[in-house]
Amino acid sequence: MGRDGRGGLCHKFVGANEVVGLMSAHTFSIVGVAFALATLVACTENANGAKTERSSAERVAAELDVCGEGGGEFAQQVCENRPLAELDGQVRATLVAESAAISDAGTTLLIQNQNRWRDAARVSCGIIDQAATPDQTQQRCLEAAYRARAQDAQTAVQEVGGYTFQRMELVDATPVTAEIASSMGSSAPVAVERNIRFPRIDGPQTPEIRRFNELVAQQPQFSLGDATNENVSYIIAYAGPELISVKFVISADSIAAANATNTVKAVTVVMGDGGRLLTETDVFRAGSGWQDFITDRAVARIAREFPDYPQFPPRRDVFETATKPHLWLITDQGLVLMFPPLSFGGSHADGGIEVTIPWADLREYLNPAAPAPIRPAV
């Protein structure tokens, strides 16, 4: 790979038009996505957060211009479609503004994300032939998608806790098969969709930041051929010099089997010693009895939420979930215990629940050397 992140494999991978061809192919496998993501991370790390004299705004404006050269057949269709061209222009203008705070590597990813989204939106609205003119239904679908994207673009880059977080997106779509369409009739969806999002810290790539980016990167669990819609979204619950805690909401919807699953998880990274996942000893003193305390608090909270269930919830189930660090969110206010559906003895229809325990209530159990904001205030 080139030392500046633009040579060799990096150059081939991050070129805007080549990325669309590589990353949105309908036969693109999970292994392919994982390889592409690993290559992408390596390229951005090689760039080391540098920003050249050429402004990001200029580059984003040029490379996302649907009326520019090399945009492809669908970009040309958008260019010649006045309502879509105006909406695409709104998205482009927002991304130009968002690019002001990010590096050259971040700009490359911003452009890639938008080009990939545009291609997926086309398929999701039923336009298989890139050169085809959309019919009325497809036109309405595209306009709605572009309006939503214009709002979405406003949070493509976030400044939180002294970090610049850029949203990464693995967005793809493929038409449903003829077999599925035939079996489902008029209720069949147009496409199978994937929308996986996770944060990436832009800027200088210290060992801790590189490790954070590796730990929060999400990968598809299904291939598009599995006919399963897959969505992953995230919220940055806390970000500070010593710790970053991210909540992920994950859903998978099998089209053919009419089966949906929903869950949550946390990725909390201690930003020291090269970056690592949070452990229970980072939060609590060993032998302090913290497990029983947080379990009792959670049982009481869940029982209040579901008063119609007799002898509910089962304490054993609550204990098993409450004591798992990958289901802990760290916030300024306290420790949030996340209970996904089915994790506390209820039915899937009950959904999930969160139990927040203030740090003040946990003080006697906390590790005095815990990273902030867990560490008791002096």
In a domain? residue 335: yes
Average pLDDT over residues 341-356: 88
Tokens of 56: 């990001």
Specify the pLDDT at position 51.
64
Band (pLDDT 50/70/90 cuts) for residue 347 is confident
> In the chain, how long is the greatest CA-to-CA distance?
68
Is 16 in the same domain as 138? yes
Q: Name which residue leads in pLDDT, 42 or 56.
A: 56
CATH number at residue 351: 3.90.640
Question: Which position has the token pair 């049982």?
Answer: 299
Cβ atoms 33, 25 nearer than 8 A? no
Band (pLDDT 50/70/90 cuts) for residue 350 is confident
In a domain? residue 1: no
Beta-bridge partner residues of 280: none
Is 149 in the same domain as 205? yes
Sign of CA dihedral 263, 269, 275, 281: negative
Count: domains in the chain: 2
Is 235 in the same domain as 290? no
- Per-residue pLDDT tens digits for 27-50: 444 444 544 554 455 454 455 666
Beta-bridge partner residues of 247: 235, 266
Residue 361: count other Cβ atoms within 10 Å of its Cβ.
Answer: 14
In a domain? residue 250: yes
In a domain? residue 373: no
Is 195 in the same domain as 132? yes
How does 213-241 read in b/e, with b if 16+ C-beta sit within 10 Å? bebbbbebeebbebbbbbebebebbbbbe
Edge-to-edge strand list for the sheet holding 191-201: 157-160, 163-175, 191-201, 228-239, 243-254, 259-270, 276-277
Average pLDDT over residues 22-26: 38
Band (pLDDT 50/70/90 cuts) for residue 259 is confident
Is 105 in the same domain as 182? yes
Band (pLDDT 50/70/90 cuts) for residue 52 is low
Beta-bridge partner residues of 196: 170, 232
- Mean pLDDT, the chain, integer: 86
Specify the pLDDT at position 274.
92
Is 240 in the same domain as 349? no
Distance separating alpha carbons of residues 232 and 330, to the nearest angstrom: 20
Distance separating alpha carbons of residues 86 and 81, to the nearest angstrom: 9
> Cis (ω within 30 of 0) for the bond into 376?
no
Domain end among 277, 296, 324: 277
Band (pLDDT 50/70/90 cuts) for residue 69 is confident
Question: Which position has the token pair 């038009």?
Answer: 17
Percent residues over pLDDT 70 in the chain: 85
Listed in sequence order, the residues at least 6 apart from 102 whose beta carbon sits closer than 8 Å to its beta carbon are 51, 56, 110, 157, 164, 166, 202, 203
DSSP 136-149: HHHHHHHHHHHHHH
Tokens of 184: 């489902």
Is 246 in the same domain as 346? no
Average pLDDT over residues 120-142: 95
Alpha helices in 165-206 (DSSP H): 178-184
In a domain? residue 295: yes
In a domain? residue 107: yes
Is 111 in the same domain as 178? yes
Specify the pLDDT at position 263.
95
* Window from 10-14, 162-166, 299-303 with minimum mean pLDDT: 10-14
Is 54 in the same domain as 175? yes
Continuous segment of H or E residues that includes residue 319: helix 315-322
Q: 338 is in which domain, residue-wise?
A: 280-365
Q: Name which residue leads in pLDDT, 121 or 347.
A: 121
Q: Is the pLDDT of residue 79 over 70?
A: yes
CA atoms within 13 A on the CB side of 330: 26
Band (pLDDT 50/70/90 cuts) for residue 88 is very high
Query: How many angstroms separate the Cα of 6 from the Cα of each of 42, 48, 240?
Result: 11, 12, 31
Distance separating alpha carbons of residues 283 and 178, to the nearest angstrom: 53
In a domain? residue 194: yes
In a domain? residue 219: yes
Is 255 in the same domain as 303? no
Is 226 in the same domain as 336? no
Average pLDDT over residues 216-239: 96
Beta-bridge partner residues of 173: 193
Is 219 in the same domain as 284? no
Most confident of 28-32, 94-98, 211-215, 341-345: 211-215
Q: Is the pLDDT of residue 11 over 60?
A: no
Domain end among 277, 312, 330: 277
Q: Is the pLDDT of residue 71 over 90?
A: no
Domain end among 222, 246, 277: 277
CA atoms within 13 A on the CB side of 54: 8
Continuous segment of H or E residues that includes residue 236: strand 228-239
Question: Residues 224, 226, 228, CA angle at the centre, nearest 5°?
Answer: 75
Average pLDDT over residues 90-119: 93
